[in-house]
Amino acid sequence: MTSFVLVGGGVASAATAAGLRSQGYDGRIVLVSDELHLPYERPPLSKEFLAGTFDSGGIQANPEGWYADNDVEVLLGTRADAIDPARRRVTLSDGGVLAYDALVLATGVRARTLPGFSGDRVHSLRSIADSERLAARLTPGSHLVILGGGFIGCEVAAIAATQGVRVTVFERGAAPLARVLGPDIGDAMMAIHGEHGVEIRTGQSVTEMKETASRIELSTRDGEVVECDEVLVGIGSVANAELAAAAGIAVDGGIVTDEFGRTSAPDVYAIGDVASRHHPTYGRTLRVEHHDTAMRHGGNAARNILGEAVPFTEDHYFWSDQYSHSIKSIGHGGVEATKVLRGSVADRSFSVFSHAGGRITSVVTLDRPQDLMTTRKLLATPHEVTTDQLADPDFDLKSLLPQRQRTRRAEASR
Ligand SMILES: Cc1cc2nc3c(=O)[nH]c(=O)nc-3n(C[C@H](O)[C@H](O)[C@H](O)COP(=O)(O)OP(=O)(O)OC[C@H]3O[C@@H](n4cnc5c(N)ncnc54)[C@H](O)[C@@H]3O)c2cc1C
């Protein structure tokens, strides 16, 4: 009997297992995870789960009974310690050895740490345990300092501020999220957080931390000392690629793969956040940390393991929810693209399009889901549009869609 081993307990592994069974594979599947929970969704950990409005039962990637019902062996609390690609073996932390016909590495990422910043009052956010520990400390009137104004920092700031916590965010750039999403989103989110009482200190970094009996003292680069109760370090992540590197598999920031998810070792695939994957449509190798992409990589891996040769050409999509606002993005802009603003930053309803070669290559939207949905369709369709048309709010983006898609839409809305 063939045996497929999936290393990692995130959505990418879970989607691979589901994909293999739905494609009719009836051989052995073993999913190895060093976590104690069945694979779960991480996005709620900095949103509803942290706020206490989400039930952990509903956070699972596949329903609890799914693994037993589908004869998928799950080894929880077990690390894959070594891979031997020549002998097709994985050695586990409990001393066990698994033979494989195909191996999927979906080991994800871990939070980047700051040397000297550790202890009971210092947090990072990747797991259910991290979210539960942080939630327990978000008491009204306490002071939380967040290092890093990226997605996790901003989402936690929103939840904490809503719960009456005093929040200060230190962001080295000019505005939160601006480095990844551009200055318009940065300015809008800076204003939105300010209205909720979050203090965002831009162009500023914290260099040192001292823990006293009851509090933390943080020193800034400019020599200021800021006291707080808890610190969240949200300064990005590091790919868990060491297992692959030690086995001689090519790694460059993440585990390098082709468009089929294949690594440099035979029958070893890498998917999800850990993969630096060639995207044929974008014409480059990218490592992205998006829930949707990780899941879709899983479905794609299942097909390729079973003998198809399906390149992953889907557009990268992600979202971030903060207060009542939602940022959504699809596509890949690239530095060479022209950025075009549509809508109003002041009204907090706008989209920033990337435009290259006479077409849209990506969009980032703030509270404009319709632009996102139309762009999703346009990215999959030949179209031509000028930057003036994109910037003109009276220009109907849907008119760029082929007639049949517009007709279908009109019929559906009747
Ligand atoms: C707090 C938070 C909020 C997020 N919010 C959003 C959002 O709003 N929108 C969005 O698009 N994305 C969001 N993301 C990103 C999204 O969750 C990730 O893209 C997704 O989880 C990636 O899935 P994965 O399976 O590739 O990796 P992971 O989810 O990182 O899972 C990897 C798994 O492998 C395990 N592992 C690692 N090494 C080993 C080993 N040697 N042996 C065994 N197991 C191992 C890890 O413990 C983990 O269980 C968020 C992430 C976090 C942490």
**What class has domain 113-233?**
alpha beta
pTM of the model: 0.95
- Ligand 1 atom closest to 288 (CA): 19
CATH topology of domain 324-413: Enolase-like; domain 1 (3.30.390)
Distance from C-alpha of 104 to C-alpha of 14, rounded to nearest angstrom: 11
Q: Chain-wide mean pLDDT for the chain?
A: 95
Say yes or no to pLDDT of 141 above 90: yes
Segment 241-258 shows an average pLDDT of 98
Q: Whose CA is nearest to atom 53 of ligand 1?
A: 126
- State the distance from the centre of ligand 1 to the C-alpha of 223, rounded, in angstroms: 36
- State the distance from the centre of ligand 1 to the C-alpha of 394, rounded, in angstroms: 40
- Please indicate whether residue 242 or residue 407 has the higher confidence score (pLDDT): 242
Say yes or no: CB of residue 301 within 6 Å of ligand 1. Answer: no
Q: Please report which confidence band the pLDDT of residue 407 belongs to, taking 50, 70 and 90 as the band edges.
A: low
Backbone angles phi and psi of 319, in degrees to 5: -140, 160
Tens-place pLDDT, residues 383-398 = 999 999 999 999 999 9
Segment 155-179 shows an average pLDDT of 97
Q: How high is the pLDDT of residue 336? A: 84
Q: How high is the pLDDT of residue 406? A: 62
Say yes or no to pLDDT of 155 above 60: yes
Distances (CA, A) of 168 to 147, 186, 235: 9, 16, 15
Same topology, domains 113-233 and 324-413? Answer is no
- The single-letter DSSP state of residue 113 is -
Q: Whose CA is nearest to atom 13 of ligand 1?
A: 43
Tens-place pLDDT, residues 274-326 = 999 999 999 999 999 999 999 999 999 999 999 999 999 999 999 999 999 99
- State the distance from the centre of ligand 1 to the C-alpha of 41, rounded, in angstroms: 8
Q: How high is the pLDDT of residue 403? A: 75
Q: How high is the pLDDT of residue 37? A: 96
Say yes or no to pLDDT of 202 above 70: yes
Say yes or no to pLDDT of 63 above 90: yes
Say yes or no: CB of residue 294 within 6 Å of ligand 1. Answer: yes
Segment 224-238 shows an average pLDDT of 97
Q: Please report which confidence band the pLDDT of residue 57 belongs to, taking 50, 70 and 90 as the band edges.
A: low
Distance from C-alpha of 345 to C-alpha of 366, rounded to nearest angstrom: 9
Q: Please report which confidence band the pLDDT of residue 409 belongs to, taking 50, 70 and 90 as the band edges.
A: low
Show me where the domains of the chain are located.
3-110+237-305, 113-233, 324-413
Distances (CA, A) of 333 to 183, 191, 347, 371: 15, 25, 24, 15
CATH of domain 3-110+237-305: 3.50.50.60
Cα-to-chain-centroid distance, residue 385 = 30
- State the distance from the centre of ligand 1 to the C-alpha of 39, rounded, in angstroms: 9
Distance from C-alpha of 225 to C-alpha of 118, rounded to nearest angstrom: 18
Q: How high is the pLDDT of residue 404? A: 65
Say yes or no to pLDDT of 335 above 90: no
Distance from C-alpha of 42 to C-alpha of 265, rounded to nearest angstrom: 29
Q: Whose CA is nearest to atom 18 of ligand 1?
A: 291
Segment 351-368 shows an average pLDDT of 97
Q: How high is the pLDDT of residue 206? A: 96
Q: Which range is least confidently modeled, 134-138, 160-164, 404-408?
A: 404-408
- State the distance from the centre of ligand 1 to the C-alpha of 272, rounded, in angstroms: 8
Say yes or no: CB of residue 32 within 6 Å of ligand 1. Answer: yes
